[in-house]
Amino acid sequence: MKKVGFIGWRGMVGSVLMDRMREENDFNLIESYFYSTSKGGELAPVVPNGSPKILSAMNISELLGMDIIVTCQGGEFTSEMHPLLRNEGWKGFWVDAASTLRMKDSSVIVLDPVNRHIVEQSIRNGVKDFVGGNCTVSLMLIALHGLFKEGLIEWISSMTYQAASGAGAKNMLELLAQMEAVGKTFSKSPSLGALEMEKEVNHFIRQDEFPKSNFGHPLALNLLPWIDSEMPNGQSKEEWKAQVEANKILQTSQVIPIDGTCVRVGALRCHSQALTIKLKKSVDLNTIESLIAGANNWVKLVPNNKLETLSKLTPSAISGKLEIPIGRVRKMSLGDEYLNAFTCGDQLLWGAAEPLRCVLRNLLD
Ligand code: HSE
């Protein structure tokens, strides 16, 4: 049995990964070792073939014996420990949720439903670093897999509606705290009309005391049209990732341009995206729909009607689910080669944990 070390398994992505591994009985196939940057020596979670004590994630000698290291600990840990291990001559597989190694030539970005063949070939070719992609990129590629496979896409403009979870667990809780603060403060003002109420509420959420130490701004009753750092070309880093990561995942021979505006909204754990897709040629809508619907086991085509859209294509409808619905699929009035679509996906499942779980299974095979 392969020895697999887990780091960052208590965090949000790590916890979702642990749950999925329990559901799929993955622990039966490995010897598990749980590491922590701070809690070495404490009791480890009980899993089949698991080591009883938590080991120190900062102790190189305790990591060197692993065949596979799976980390959801974050970029700082990767930046510090990955080079140390490799410099020590460690030849194991490094499976990582953080973005640090994603764009390195030595790494492959994993997204099982879309690039499993590339992952498998890379393992045979001796690649050792496997990294999960950015969540919006992964969710978009699973949704549009059928059109990519057919080589139909000339370019995409993606406008995102990203949940608080993408910014971290503290941010999710902060969004709820913001909502609670508004609810508590204004629950007893029924006599005010809508316009007066809006004025007071807006004043309230802009005050310094409003809970916003993580986002820095109100997200409740608001949206934030900037995610991650600034790039020199005016994109946010989140926007920059769409094209570079998608093309790396697909290993395209010619770059497919992908760009848009990434926006944080008040959903909790599901990212949504409105897509404008320029097709390379005119294709009838029935063909497009069947290509999209049949591409992989996870994409679910939602017919373009109001009832099904509003019941099946929303963050609340798909939270906690592995399926990736895509709907609002229609030709745009811009021209016959312009396709409209909207997709939604659980940011912590296919957006983060599930691609790591799948590559771990590949590595065991
Ligand atoms: N960067 C994403 C976000 C999450 O902020 O929503 C991780 O891919």
230: its two tokens = 């600034």
214: its two tokens = 């993580």
Amino acid symbol at 182: V
Per-residue b or e along 48-73, where b marks 16 or more CB atoms closer than 10 Å to that residue's CB: eebeeebbbbbeeeebbebbbbbbbb
Q: How far apart are CA 320 and CA 163, in angstroms?
A: 13
Residue of the CA atom closest to atom 6 of ligand 1: 166
Residue of the CA atom closest to atom 1 of ligand 1: 166
The β-bridge relationship of strands 338-346 and 270-279 is: antiparallel
Task: Tell me the CA distances in angstroms from 179 to 127, 137, 185, one per residue in order.
Answer: 46, 29, 10
The β-bridge relationship of strands 68-71 and 55-56 is: unpaired
Q: 10 Å Cβ neighbour count for 323?
A: 17
Residue of the CA atom closest to atom 3 of ligand 1: 166
Instruction: Calculate Rg over the CA atoms of the chain.
Output: 22
Q: Which of 135, 237, 241, 344 should be mutated for ligand 1, with most atoms under 8 A from CB?
A: 135
Please tell me the predicted confidence (pLDDT) of residue 39: 85
CA 170 / ligand 1 centre spacing (Å): 14
Q: How far apart are CA 123 and CA 115, in angstroms?
A: 13
CA 78 / ligand 1 centre spacing (Å): 17
In the chain, which ranges are E strands? 2-7, 30-36, 55-56, 68-71, 93-96, 107-110, 129-132, 153-162, 258-259, 262-264, 270-279, 299-301, 324-331, 338-346
Residues with CB under 6 A from ligand 1: 134-135, 162, 166-167, 227, 238
Is-catalytic flag, 145? no
Q: How far apart are CA 200 and CA 188, in angstroms?
A: 13
Residue with tokens 């809780």: 173
Q: Kindly report each contact of residues 52-55 with a partner whose C-beta sits within 8 Å and lies 24 or more positions away, as own/partner.
A: 55/5
User: Among residues 145, 270, 271, 344, which one is catalytic?
Assistant: 271
pLDDT in tens, the chain (365 residues): 999 999 999 999 999 999 999 999 999 999 999 999 998 789 999 999 999 999 999 999 999 999 999 999 999 999 999 999 999 999 999 999 999 999 999 999 999 999 999 999 999 999 999 999 999 999 999 999 999 999 999 999 999 999 999 999 999 999 999 999 999 998 876 678 889 999 999 999 999 999 999 999 999 999 999 999 999 999 999 999 999 999 999 999 999 999 999 999 999 999 999 999 999 999 999 999 999 999 999 999 999 999 999 999 999 999 999 999 999 999 999 999 999 999 999 999 999 999 999 999 999 98
CA-CA-CA-CA torsion sign (297, 298, 304, 310): positive
| 339, 330 contact by CB (below 8 A) | yes
Q: In sequence order, which residues have a C-beta less than 8 Å from that of residue 20 and are 6 or more positions away?
A: 26, 349, 353, 354, 357
Q: Which of 159, 238, 354 should be mutated for ligand 1, with most atoms under 8 A from CB?
A: 238
Is-catalytic flag, 271? yes
Please tell me the predicted confidence (pLDDT) of residue 189: 67
Q: How far apart are CA 265 and CA 162, in angstroms?
A: 6
Eight-state DSSP code of residue 59: -
Residue with tokens 């640090």: 100
Residue with tokens 């499993």: 116
Residue of the CA atom closest to atom 2 of ligand 1: 166
**Orientation angle between helical segments 237-250 and 135-143, nearest 10 degrees:** 50
Q: Which atom of ligand 1 is nearest to the CA of 136?
A: 8
Q: In sequence order, which residues have a C-beta less than 8 Å from that of residue 175 and are 6 or more positions away?
A: 164, 215, 219, 220, 266, 268
Q: Which atom of ligand 1 is nearest to the CA of 227?
A: 5
User: Among residues 135, 262, 344, 358, which one is catalytic?
Assistant: 135
Q: Which atom of ligand 1 is nearest to the CA of 135?
A: 8
Residue 181 backbone dihedrals phi, psi, to 5 degrees: -60, -45
Q: How far apart are CA 234 and CA 237, in angstroms?
A: 9
CA 276 / ligand 1 centre spacing (Å): 21
Q: How far apart are CA 307 and CA 58, in angstroms?
A: 52
CA 167 / ligand 1 centre spacing (Å): 6
CA 348 / ligand 1 centre spacing (Å): 10
